[in-house]
Chain A
Amino acid sequence: MTDEDRERRHWLAVLARATADEIGQRLADAPPLPPHRALRGPEIGLVMVRGRAGGDGAPFNLGEATVTRCTVAIEGGAVGHAVRIGRDRRAAELSALLDAALQDAALRPALHAAVIAPLAEAQAARRAAEAERAAATRVEFLTMVQMR
């Protein structure tokens, strides 16, 4: 995997977790996005989520998840894809459009600074806050045993 692939994987992951409103707010301060043309979707469908017991057992079908996917092309030919859990068509379209625009080396730095970096920061903060809340209720079984 090249550095570019890693970077793209990062922004796709950030966009897949952001809501349409969050992306829309960040886009308000970003440079305008190029005009685009829808190639497919946004459309809603199902994917089968597979799991492995304990992470290394035989794969089994865990259940179906609703996903929304979208593919757009922008001027210059770059194609952006988005697949996300849920039924948010607008978020899928914005994500696909951003994916296409972020592949353009000229647009990337500005868009990254205006959209991806703040979203990633907010998501990390949210994760940390949740982890803190959970950690406050942690029970140390070893301590309990010794207290008896």
Chain B
Amino acid sequence: MGENELILSLQNLTMKFGGLVAVRDFSMDISYGELVGLIGPNGAGKTTIFNMITGHYTPTAGKVIFEGRDITGLPPWQVARLGIARTFQNIRLCREMTALENVLISFHPRVRSTVFDAILPTPRYLREERKMRERGMELLSAVGLEKWANFRAGALPYGLQRRVEIARALATSPKLLLLDEPAAGMNPAEAADLMGFIRKIRETFNLTIFLIEHVMQVVMGICPRIRVIDFGVSIAEGTPEEIKNNPKVIEAYLGEEALRA
């Protein structure tokens, strides 16, 4: 736990692409240990908000405060090293590398050996390499993938690929995990599995989780607090019950699938 109760504070974030305002004046606070959802119709700006947090986009205005520190505009690799990890809407795995190698990539920034240690090789390098592989296998076991460690990531079924991506994100030892539509493409049974999975990793790894989702079953099922945005603007926040019955939310989704639990 940090000195503040807040792990993440988004202050008046605005993102403009030329003339288009993708996100306008978005503010939100997230406390340590929370499991918060972000929903909204397609194109509402949800992933843009994630991208502003992780540094892939630099906000046109506003601030991102993480653990009390202003990280606005820092490059993604620095944001990752500070403790924010994410997954992507369309899974961005290194398909030609094995599941284990994908996870090992995340350990690289913490490696203390230099390239010279790697070339010689020195005992320090060999030790680190071995420890990384052990830890990588541990992580894969934690997500139930130890059997697939040496399979090419691109050859795995979609649901497993999602889990590899999450394992890879977990390997960065994050404090805050951003999940971008983790349930995309899953049937209700898989989605139910995912819900349990998310709850479990939050406990096991002591995480704060911020999640974008379209599959209402998942969001409503696990997030005690949900924020709704539409056209880049916040329109509501509350518990799943409150959100379900909020007229503004229903209006925003009118014409799309009705809100179902």
Does B associate with A?
no
Q: List residues of chain B with CB under 8 Å of any chain A CB.
A: none
